[in-house]
Chains A and B, each alone.
Chain A
């Protein structure tokens, strides 16, 4: 599972959705893999406006990556900064979480990730 995907996912428990603590989910015991993908600066520029930057900073730090700037770059700044482009490309699209858990900061439920696929099906008592 890609780090960019994590920016769109939250706890599947209905009552958690209104809580700020349910996003982003927190990786635990994460085993990461790295895919080599050709960089696409235009795509990144179009993805940047829809990223929740605060959540991405949290995820990035929790996965052991260097801290991202406190504020997101503007599209112009991103396009002019090759190092940042490469860093974001590597983090968002090339990094895969293959195994581990995703933990909700609100209810504490742990979603298993196996072979790169996260399982958000809830046990019946949480549905």
Chain B
């Protein structure tokens, strides 16, 4: 088991606290099948060009920090760049700190063989909407734990407002947390926008990991992705394995067949 990044500094009144969905992403991304897939695509011998990993909506930063700190184990190379994009400014700050702590822990546990114990390089977390701030075609691995809970209304990020200061009201904090879970119709309104942006956001060797809950109708989502043409594939690569309740979770991997290893 790879150690889970420390998130004890994260203000959970304003930033989504790591939960079952976050931990399913950690387990899935470090599973034998996904480390084999990612290593075959991105290990240094497979190209010599450092992959860029982007997490959309990192929240506490636990997932992107995990990927950064354990880059060598998960991607077969430590020459990895990582960053995050979150609508919540507090999440951006939290993510930077979580990543720095996780990388420092990996380096402290270095066995002396050099190279920082296999950690990659966390660049930055920027505040933004999905992949909007990113140049087309630069993302090699995209990870998204979306706001997936079906809700009557979809909250809208505030460009300025609450997040300008260091203090927040209860309403502002509720709004920030709602942005992290409320998914609108079928819990898919934000995820659908991200899926539509994937073909331009991802590099030729790019792939994406997106978390879905049962109410998102994952089988239909995968079928829609496959039906877009262009060689896109979508498969379930991790599940929460629990039958009880409506929040049964799964991770789908989306990638292009043209670059199949």
Q: For the complex, what is the distance from the CA of A23 to the CA of B137, rounded to whole Å?
A: 14
- Which B residues between 79 and 98 are near A, CB-CB below 8 angstroms? 79, 81, 83, 85, 87, 89, 92-93, 96
Q: Are B127 and A2 in contact (CB under 8 A)?
A: no
Q: Of B48-56, B143-151, B235-243, which stretch is located at the interface?
A: B48-56
Q: Answer whether A120 and B133 are a contact pair too, CB < 8 Å, given A1-B124, A47-B81.
A: yes
**Which residue of B89, B123, B160 contacts A2 across the interface (Cβ within 8 Å)?**
B123
Q: Are B159 and A122 in contact (CB under 8 A)?
A: yes
Q: Are B136 and A43 in contact (CB under 8 A)?
A: no
Q: Does A71 contact B (CB under 8 A)?
A: no
Interface of A, secondary structure class, is mixed
**Which residue of B89, B124, B129, B160 contacts A12 across the interface (Cβ within 8 Å)?**
B129
Interface size class of A (residues with CB under 8 A): 20 to 34
Q: Total contacts A to B, CB within 8 angstroms?
A: 96
Q: Of A3-11, A26-34, A59-67, which stretch is located at the interface?
A: A3-11
Q: Answer whether A46 and B48 are a contact pair too, CB < 8 Å, given A117-B92, A119-B89, A124-B159.
A: yes
Q: Does B121 contact A (CB under 8 A)?
A: yes
Q: Which residue of B lies closest to A111 (CB)?
A: B133
Q: Are A9 and B123 in contact (CB under 8 A)?
A: no
Q: Does A123 contact B (CB under 8 A)?
A: yes
Q: Does B108 contact A (CB under 8 A)?
A: no
Q: Does B44 contact A (CB under 8 A)?
A: yes
Q: Are A17 and B159 in contact (CB under 8 A)?
A: no
Q: Answer whether A121 and B157 are a contact pair too, CB < 8 Å, given A5-B123, A50-B49, A50-B50.
A: yes
Q: Does B102 contact A (CB under 8 A)?
A: no
Q: Does B126 contact A (CB under 8 A)?
A: yes
Q: Are B135 and A9 in contact (CB under 8 A)?
A: yes
- Which of B44, B126, B127 gathers the greatest number of chain A CB atoms within 10 Å? B126
Q: Are B138 and A8 in contact (CB under 8 A)?
A: yes
Q: Does A56 contact B (CB under 8 A)?
A: no
- Which A residues between 98 and 127 are near B, CB-CB below 8 angstroms? 115-124, 127
Q: Which residues in A have their C-beta under 8 angstroms from that of B92?
A: 117
Q: For the complex, what is the distance from the CA of A14 to the CA of B126, rounded to whole Å?
A: 18
**Which residue of A23, A47, A120 contacts B127 across the interface (Cβ within 8 Å)?**
A120
What per-residue 1/0 map shows which CB atoms of B102-145 lie under 8 Å from chain A?
A: 00000000000001100001011111110011111010000000
How far in angstroms is the closest Cβ of chain A from B88?
10
Q: Which residues in B have their C-beta under 8 angstroms from that of A8?
A: 52, 83, 123, 134-135, 138
Q: Are A43 and B124 in contact (CB under 8 A)?
A: no
Q: Does A42 contact B (CB under 8 A)?
A: yes
Q: Are B93 and A117 in contact (CB under 8 A)?
A: yes
Q: For the complex, what is the distance from the CA of A118 to the CA of B159, rounded to whole Å?
A: 12
Q: Are B79 and A47 in contact (CB under 8 A)?
A: yes
Q: Which residues in A have their C-beta under 8 angstroms from that of B81?
A: 4, 47
How far in angstroms is the closest Cβ of chain A from B197?
10
Q: Which residues in B have their C-beta under 8 angstroms from that of A118?
A: 124, 126-127, 133
Q: Are B93 and A49 in contact (CB under 8 A)?
A: no
Q: Which residues in B have their C-beta under 8 angstroms from that of A40?
A: 116
How far in angstroms is the closest Cβ of chain A from B118?
12
Q: Which residues in A have their C-beta under 8 angstroms from that of B135?
A: 8-10, 23
Q: Does A93 contact B (CB under 8 A)?
A: yes
Contacts beyond the supplied A43-B121, A50-B138, A120-B132: 9 A-B pairs with Cβ under 8 Å: A10-B135, A12-B129, A17-B136, A46-B50, A50-B52, A117-B92, A118-B124, A122-B159, A123-B160
Residues of B at under 8 Å CB distance from A? 44, 48-50, 52, 77-79, 81, 83, 85, 87, 89, 92-93, 96, 115-116, 121, 123-129, 132-136, 138, 157-160
